[in-house]
Amino acid sequence: MLNKKTVEDVDVNGKRVLVRCDFNVPQDENLNITDDRRIVSALPTIKYLIDHNAKVILCSHLGRPKGEFNKKYSLAPVAKRLTELLGKKVKLADDVIGESAKTLASNLNDGDVMLLENVRFHKEEEANDMSFCKELAQLADIYVNDAFGTAHRAHASTEGVSKYLPAVCGYLIQKEIDVMGKALDNPSRPFVAILGGKKVSDKIKVIENLIDKVDTLLIGGGMAYTFFKAKGYEIGNSICEDDKIELAKELMEKASHKGVKLVLPIDNVVAKEFSNDSEKKVVKSDEIPEDYQGMDIGPETIKLFAHELKDAKTIVWNGPMGVFEFDNFAVGTNEVAKILGGLDAVTIIGGGDSAAAIEKGGFADTMTHISTGGGASLEFLEGKVLPGIACLLDK
């Protein structure tokens, strides 16, 4: 559980509070925000500060402007959306630590909210440059980190600034750590993890950490084919990391040694080409034709996974079951989401592609918790200490 001070543990009345949020939202070509979930997730902390008479200074990155001012990555659309959601004007500074930011910050009244321009317009942000951290800190009296999505990065606005200001977390980080922390440290059992995605290499540390904690591990997605090859199956043109075959063997042995049930797909939807319209068929996992590639888990695997999940009390899911970007190969991912939505269990979706798949399939409201951080939730599931959280004051 989170043993860090939160916004409720400090007196914010009349104080200038710098809040690091994660407003890195997707936009269309006209710069309209297409999914404002990350902005909405920040509202509880912002509203708490407004209600407690703080002078609120929000900051975030957006996209990858590579340390240069670039209008395409301006936070102006975010300021506009925040103004609508909060029902009060959120002024946008023209810069981060320049005259505009300083003037706006010094003229804030209690309960006012402003937003600094994209912190990644300065290369010093990602370099965690101390003089930049100091200038940023001079805008405020207190620092609140509520950007779980970047908590695994030691940047100026996520970690460095805490060296100059009392630092606490907001409600979003508190929720992320409490929900995922309880799942890892003290889960209601049976505890089942579902891991998917393309590569075993992306999830090695997660698998290693979870084998010590879960009762059952279900593996789908592209990474399953490396396990198949480790078992001596013919996998055709399926994605495979040949340099991870020995590791896959070791992981299967480790699971068996620990008494953890490691379940691989028993059938797969395979296709001739990597495209939505490719000719496809369902084959057993050890019978993939040499000119085909695995694209999704098959119907028998969906039934098998449903059986393994039906009595689970805690479920962590990270990574899609197939090429969910193609509708014809999104069936496995959508069916797993549907199964989870109907269970009486704590269901935690670990950010990134799994969260996108859940949103796309319309299953978001049926989950206990969808993490706002892809990389951060992965590192958390690996058991790593996140610098943006480690730097906060202990209770």
pLDDT of 289 > 80? The answer is yes
Q: Which residue is catalytic, options 160, 352, 373, 374?
A: 352
Looking at the domain assignment, is residue 390 inside a domain?
no
Could you give the CA distance from residue 49 to residue 185 in angstroms, rounded to a whole number? 31
Contacts of 252 (CB under 8 A, 6+ apart): 227, 230, 231, 262
pLDDT of 3 > 70? The answer is yes
- The arithmetic mean of pLDDT across residues 259-267, rounded, is 97
- Residue 66 — pLDDT band, cuts 50, 70, 90? very high
Of 147, 172, 197, the last residue of a domain is 172
**pLDDT, tens digit, 9 for 90 and up, residues 338-353:** 999 899 999 999 867 7
pLDDT of 2 > 80? The answer is no
pLDDT of 266 > 80? The answer is yes
Could you give the CA distance from residue 293 to residue 229 in angstroms, rounded to a whole number? 13
Output the pLDDT for position 77: 98
Among 239, 297, 237, 240, smallest CA distance to 272 is for 237
Could you give the CA distance from residue 246 to residue 269 in angstroms, rounded to a whole number? 25
Specify the range with the lowest mean pLDDT, choosing from 103-112, 288-297, 315-324, 381-390: 381-390
Kindly state whether residues 161 and 231 are assigned to the same domain: no
pLDDT of 96 > 80? The answer is yes
Kindly state whether residues 160 and 230 are assigned to the same domain: no
Q: Which residue is catalytic, options 361, 375, 383, 384?
A: 375
Contacts of 109 (CB under 8 A, 6+ apart): 55
pLDDT of 181 > 70? The answer is yes
Domain count, the chain: 2
Looking at the domain assignment, is residue 112 inside a domain?
yes
Output the pLDDT for position 303: 98
- The arithmetic mean of pLDDT across residues 216-241, rounded, is 96
Question: Are 290 and 323 in contact, with CB atoms under 8 Å apart?
Answer: no
Supply the CATH number for residue 297's domain.
3.40.50.1260
Kindly state whether residues 63 and 98 are assigned to the same domain: yes
Kindly state whether residues 153 and 186 are assigned to the same domain: no
Q: Which residue is catalytic, options 199, 261, 360, 384?
A: 199
Output the pLDDT for position 1: 58
**pLDDT, tens digit, 9 for 90 and up, residues 9-60:** 999 999 999 999 999 999 999 999 998 989 999 999 999 999 999 999 999 9
Output the pLDDT for position 350: 85
Output the pLDDT for position 42: 96
Looking at the domain assignment, is residue 146 inside a domain?
yes
Q: Which residue is catalytic, options 4, 16, 38, 153?
A: 38
What secondary structure does DSSP assign to 81-108, as a single string?
A: HHHHHHTS-EEEPSSSSSHHHHHHHHTP
Q: Among this protein's residues, is 375 annotated catalytic? A: yes
Among 329, 372, 332, 328, smallest CA distance to 349 is for 372
The pair of three-digit structure tokens given for residue 368, joined into one six-digit string: 């206990």
Of 172, 196, 213, the last residue of a domain is 172
Specify the range with the lowest mean pLDDT, choosing from 157-171, 174-188, 206-220, 370-384: 370-384
Looking at the domain assignment, is residue 234 inside a domain?
yes
Looking at the domain assignment, is residue 53 inside a domain?
yes
Show the domain range for 135.
7-172
pLDDT of 143 > 80? The answer is yes
Q: Which residue has the higher pLDDT, 53 or 177?
A: 53
pLDDT of 105 > 80? The answer is yes
Output the pLDDT for position 179: 87
Kindly state whether residues 115 and 210 are assigned to the same domain: no
Kindly state whether residues 285 and 370 are assigned to the same domain: yes
Longest distance between any two alpha carbons in the chain, whole Å: 69
Q: Among this protein's residues, is 38 annotated catalytic? A: yes
**pLDDT, tens digit, 9 for 90 and up, residues 121-131:** 999 999 999 99
Of 145, 172, 199, the last residue of a domain is 172
Looking at the domain assignment, is residue 125 inside a domain?
yes
- The arithmetic mean of pLDDT across residues 231-243, rounded, is 95
The proportion of the chain whose per-residue pLDDT surpasses 70, expressed as a percent, equals: 99
Looking at the domain assignment, is residue 50 inside a domain?
yes
Q: What residue ranges in the chain does DSSP mark as E strands?
A: 16-20, 55-59, 90-92, 113-115, 142-145, 167-169, 191-195, 216-219, 261-263, 267-271, 280-284, 293-297, 314-318, 346-349, 369-370
Mean pLDDT of the chain: 94
Among 38, 59, 61, 58, smallest CA distance to 46 is for 58
The proportion of the chain whose per-residue pLDDT surpasses 90, expressed as a percent, equals: 84
